[in-house]
Amino acid sequence: MPFTPVIIQSLHMPQFESSLVWFRRDLRSTDHAALHHALQQSRRVFCAFIFDKEILDQLPRADRRVEFIHASILELDASLRELGGGLIVRHAWASEEIVSLAQELGVDAVFANHDYEPAAVARDLQVQNALLAQNRLFFSFKDQVIFEKSEVLSLSATTFSVFTPYKNAWLKKLAAGNDGADALQPWLIEPFAERLAAHPQAIPSLSDMGFEITDLREHRIPTGMSGAQSLVDDFCHRIGLYQDTRNYPAVKGPSYLSVHLRFGSVSIRSLARLAWDAIRAGNGAEGATVWLAELIWRDFYFMILHHHPHVTQGAFKAAYQNITWESGAEADALFAAWCEGRTGYPLVDAAMAQLNQTGYMHNRLRMVTACFLIKDLGIDWRRGEAYFATRLIDFDLAANNGGWQWAASSGCDAQPYFRIFNPITQSEKFDAEGKFIRRYLPQLAQLSHKQIHAPWTCTAMDLQFAGINLGQDYPTPIVDHAQARLATLERYAVVKKVM
């Protein structure tokens, strides 16, 4: 049976003696739905986070995400302590530990925020049933999106599968609520903070859990609530230029808040409010409008995941399951070259170097690299999706799946199958001077702005002058784009026949 969390309305007087708030992907002590409701409805509230072995045991011992979470947990604990409480942190199987902890503390209920991923939905149902067997309640709340599940519907009361009408309906719903204030109002914590229960316990270190320190600090990735706020403060001064700068990887255009949205060290409501206020005030309205649309894409993909969980296994559009992808040793070699940034196409290789070295990839480059793997190399998009899942520090199942299915043309509102990015023209358009390429492929630094996008077209003298031995210092292209384009059109013909 599907997980159907119990939702309760706010009450003026507490109805529970004690409760437990289970933090998951909401690592902050402000504007937190579950924490707000638990505090409002309980005389005493404990807080906990479980480093879930079911997830962590599958990860490499040096994983930036685990370090990011750990650093954010330390800050969350300190913040809760300042409010009079604290965070119980354990390294265990979350589905079992939360139930055991609820019994250990003797709480009446466990509060958490919705998680829409299929595995998390199944886990929460298991926890809910185990708690009910102990006569304890489980409550779950919307927190990581503005509108969820079936809150944004078409005029015929059906869910959307195309983004633009969804966005328009989303904006209309937001505007209908007292100038957007209703959906964006924060869930206050401080008015009830005296109900937080202190429960001092040592927080396990990374090494206690079998993990190692990574290069997170070296890449200056700010962690926790304070790190998120520093990025918000910086972006406030740039939001008006977002529409002009967001597509250029060598320019400081994005907000860089994706990892904080992923782990909830910043509230989605506060970010949507930032954009909404800028739009209403006309202060950088064009940039704020484009950025808000990106936040709406995030809601859209969560909605799609909720209603169509089969996307985690295959194509959103059934016809695209009929595509035959390249396989075998040659395809494996091409895939390895893509993963390691050895395709011979500089923008693709620089983007993969950025991913592999830092755990981050610019959004424009996510599209470029995905389209190259799928439509230049003919490799199943699910292989690329899985690779990104292991590398991206901001990996989010809904957004990652949505992005890859967009590139593969198999998703909802995806690019047409015959739209095939040319990696050279993409490079010339979005990194015209080769600044991004030079940063991650220093061996190409001496090439001119024009030459750097396609080194194999240079004369022997040009390569010699730049100190490049093509094939040794930098690879020749592993595929001819023009030929690959024709092969892709043929590969996707099976879709055209079915549709």
Please check the confidence at residue 3 and state whether its pLDDT lies above 70: no
Q: What backbone phi and psi angles, to 5 degrees, belong to 292? A: -60, -35
Please check the confidence at residue 89 and state whether its pLDDT lies above 80: yes
Mean pLDDT of 395-415: 95
Buried/exposed code over 405-415 (b: 16+ C-beta within 10 A; e: otherwise): bbbbbbbbbbb
Higher model confidence: residue 477 or residue 10? 477
Please check the confidence at residue 127 and state whether its pLDDT lies above 50: yes
pLDDT of residue 340: 98
CA dist 166 → 278, 301, 334 (Å): 22, 11, 37
Cα separation of 218 and 226, whole Å?
A: 18
Please check the confidence at residue 5 and state whether its pLDDT lies above 80: no
Residue listed under structure tokens 């010699």? 464
State the sign of the Cα–Cα–Cα–Cα dihedral 392, 231, 398, 264: positive
Please check the confidence at residue 67 and state whether its pLDDT lies above 50: yes
> DSSP letter string over 412-459?
TTPPPTT----HHHHHHHHSTT-HHHHHH-GGGTTS-TTGGG-GGGS-
Catalytic residues: 294, 297, 325, 363, 381, 404
Please check the confidence at residue 12 and state whether its pLDDT lies above 70: no
> DSSP letter string over 266-286?
S-HHHHHHHHHHHHHHTSSHH
pLDDT of residue 415: 83
Higher model confidence: residue 445 or residue 178? 445
Tokens of 284: 């950088």
Please check the confidence at residue 2 and state whether its pLDDT lies above 70: no
CA dist 128 → 112, 209, 372 (Å): 11, 27, 44
pLDDT of residue 414: 82
Please check the confidence at residue 180 and state whether its pLDDT lies above 70: no
Decide: 84 and 193 in contact? Cβ < 8 Å.
yes
Distance of CA 485 to the CA centre of its chain: 30
Angle among Cα 447, 451, 452 to the nearest 5 degrees reads: 65
pLDDT of residue 13: 63
CA dist 391 → 338, 374, 394, 461 (Å): 14, 18, 9, 38
Decide: 470 and 455 in contact? Cβ < 8 Å.
yes
pLDDT of residue 178: 57
Domain 318-493: CATH architecture, name and number where available: Orthogonal Bundle (1.10)
Decide: 447 and 455 in contact? Cβ < 8 Å.
yes
Residue 318: count of CB within 10 angstroms of its CB: 11
Average pLDDT value over all residues in the chain: 95
CA dist 243 → 156, 248, 399, 423 (Å): 33, 10, 20, 22
pLDDT of residue 288: 97
Please check the confidence at residue 210 and state whether its pLDDT lies above 90: yes
By CB atoms closer than 10 A (0-12, 13-18, 19+), residue 68 is: buried
Residues 6+ away with beta carbon under 8 Å from 324: 491, 494
Decide: 212 and 62 in contact? Cβ < 8 Å.
yes
Please check the confidence at residue 21 and state whether its pLDDT lies above 60: yes
Domain 16-141 shares a fold with domain 318-493? no
Domain 16-141 has CATH 3.40.50.720: no
Dump pLDDT digits (tens) for 255-314.
999 999 999 999 999 999 999 999 999 888 999 999 999 999 999 999 999 999 999 999
| Helix or strand run (H / E) with residue 23 | strand 16-23
Task: Report percent pLDDT > 90 for the chain.
Answer: 92
Mean pLDDT of 99-126: 98
Strands 88-92 and 109-113: unpaired
**pLDDT band, residue 498 (cuts 50/70/90):** low
pLDDT of residue 6: 42
pLDDT of residue 177: 74
CATH class of 145-183+225-307: mainly alpha
Structural domain boundaries in the chain? 16-141, 145-183+225-307, 318-493
pLDDT of residue 7: 40
Total-model pTM: 0.94
Residue 208: count of CB within 10 angstroms of its CB: 11
Residue 425: count of CB within 10 angstroms of its CB: 12
Coil, strand or helix at 388: helix
Could you list the beta-strand ranges (E) of 25-98: 42-52, 88-92
Decide: 149 and 115 in contact? Cβ < 8 Å.
no
Dump pLDDT digits (tens) for 194-208.
999 998 889 999 999
pLDDT of residue 14: 79
Decide: 85 and 92 in contact? Cβ < 8 Å.
no
Residues 6+ away with beta carbon under 8 Å from 471: none
Dump pLDDT digits (tens) for 411-449.
998 888 899 999 999 999 999 999 999 999 999 999 999
Tokens of 476: 């020749």
